[in-house]
Amino acid sequence: MESAIDAHLQCPRTRTRRVGDAFQPPYPAYSARAPQTMTQVVMAYFGVQVHQDVDRAQDAFVRMSSLFKLPDGPGHRDTVRFADANGAETLMAIAYWGDPLQFQRWRDSAEVSEWWKSDERLHEGVGYFREVLMPRDMQYETAYSSPHHPEGVGVVMGGMSGEILEHGYWGSMRDRIPLSQTDTMTPSGGLCVRADDDKRRVMVFGHQNLAVIRSGQDWTDTIREERRLYVEEIEPTLRAGMEFLRDQGADVGCYSNRYVRHVDGDGQPIEKSFGISHWASLAHLERWAESHETHLTIFGKFLRYVPELPNLRLYHEVAVFDSNAQGYEYIACRPGTGLMPR
């Protein structure tokens, strides 16, 4: 048993953990490990929003995705599809870099930056967005039910812990973030919006300690009763929680929620999904998770069924951000897309 906080990120505490060293988690979990030199990572969400023509959006997404193959492109990438709060179908790539300088070289390369800035983007009959998050190593945590299947940022981090102590209790998410050793991660400021005159390009600026969670599931390897339990018992409850956050999240401090399905190279759905949501603070996310009936139900069902679900893989990554380590940019997107005002 080891701490979810990697050895080189441990520091003298001014704040206490919720559980003692003798705590025994009810089931195993693991955290991704990064080299000590990986002091900041990039999590970037690139979207194409369907307006009328799905084929047009598909073509735009393929052209956008070709940029990832340029020099200094991402170390890992997922492709997903979802319907947003407006009901707009969206294709999205989630790209990870283990080095912000590498990301910046890619983003600022002539091909990428000219593509993004071109006025052609305004008139393709689709919307575009890019949402870039850059947490420092003290500001994020990961948890995986399987040590052999890293997802998301864990892939670029490159390593995996042994069984971790800080999981399976409310508050463990906070306790896994290295910064919690000394910091409450209290938010300050609010979202700030800047739009071009014609409102076709919108930028949203995040505030200090805005929090983001990506929480995923992979039911590829489930069989028989296990698959039925996930599909019939767990997934509908999960979906209800995701729809609540998407449609009524503002009441509980959730700026945006997307419940997305992974797709393969041909755009066909595969058996992996995740929720990605932006929150006013880690505390808001905690309060929802701990008290909203849909999430309590998900958690209760999961705890009940976990012995019967050996092949269902779950994971999440959670981070808080400095205000200058986030950027949300939208081109020709509908009001209410991502963090855009409605």
Instruction: State yes or no: residue 287 binds its own copies (CB under 8 A).
Output: yes
Task: Please answer whether residues 50 and 194 qualify as being in contact, where contact means their C-beta atoms are separated by less than 8 angstroms.
Answer: no
Q: Of 168 and 338, which CB lies nearer to its own copies in the complex structure?
A: 168
Total residues binding its own copies (CB under 8 A): 28
Please give the positions annotated as active site: 316
Task: Please answer whether residues 173 and 290 qualify as being in contact, where contact means their C-beta atoms are separated by less than 8 angstroms.
Answer: no
Task: Please answer whether residues 15 and 182 qualify as being in contact, where contact means their C-beta atoms are separated by less than 8 angstroms.
Answer: yes
Site for its own copies in 174-203 (CB under 8 A): 184, 186
Instruction: State yes or no: residue 22 binds its own copies (CB under 8 A).
Output: yes
Residue linked to tokens 């999240």? 249
Strands (E), the chain: 32-33, 42-50, 76-83, 89-97, 126-133, 140-144, 159-160, 192-195, 201-205, 210-218, 254-263, 269-279, 313-321, 326-331
Instruction: State yes or no: residue 303 binds its own copies (CB under 8 A).
Output: yes
Instruction: State yes or no: residue 81 binds its own copies (CB under 8 A).
Output: no
Cα 151 to chain centroid, rounded:
11
Only segment of 13-21, 60-68, 82-90, 103-111 that touches its own copies (CB under 8 A): 13-21
Task: Please answer whether residues 252 and 292 qualify as being in contact, where contact means their C-beta atoms are separated by less than 8 angstroms.
Answer: yes
Q: How far apart are CA 292 and CA 294, in angstroms?
A: 6
Instruction: State yes or no: residue 225 binds its own copies (CB under 8 A).
Output: no
Q: What are phi and psi of 212, to 5 degrees?
A: -135, 135
In the complex, what is the shortest distance from the CB of residue 19 to its own copies, in angstroms, rounded to a whole number? 7
Alpha carbon separation from 156 to 32, 38, 47, 51, 88 (Å, rounded): 9, 10, 21, 33, 30
Q: Which of 283, 327, 334, 336 binds its own copies (CB under 8 A)?
A: 283
Q: How far apart are CA 5 and CA 210, in angstroms?
A: 21
Instruction: State yes or no: residue 304 binds its own copies (CB under 8 A).
Output: yes
In the complex, what is the shortest distance from the CB of residue 18 to its own copies, in angstroms, rounded to a whole number? 6
Instruction: State yes or no: residue 158 binds its own copies (CB under 8 A).
Output: no
Q: Which of 169, 199, 269, 308 binds its own copies (CB under 8 A)?
A: 169
Instruction: State yes or no: residue 171 binds its own copies (CB under 8 A).
Output: yes
In the complex, what is the shortest distance from the CB of residue 303 to its own copies, in angstroms, rounded to a whole number? 6
Instruction: Give the tokens for residue 328.
Output: 């949300």
Instruction: State yes or no: residue 293 binds its own copies (CB under 8 A).
Output: yes
Q: Which of 10, 16, 66, 324 binds its own copies (CB under 8 A)?
A: 16
Instruction: State yes or no: residue 110 binds its own copies (CB under 8 A).
Output: no
Instruction: State yes or no: residue 115 binds its own copies (CB under 8 A).
Output: no
Q: What is the DSSP letter of 218?
A: E
**Binding stretches for its own copies (CB under 8 A):** 15-16, 18-20, 22-23, 26, 168-171, 184, 186, 283, 286-287, 290-293, 296-297, 299-301, 303-304
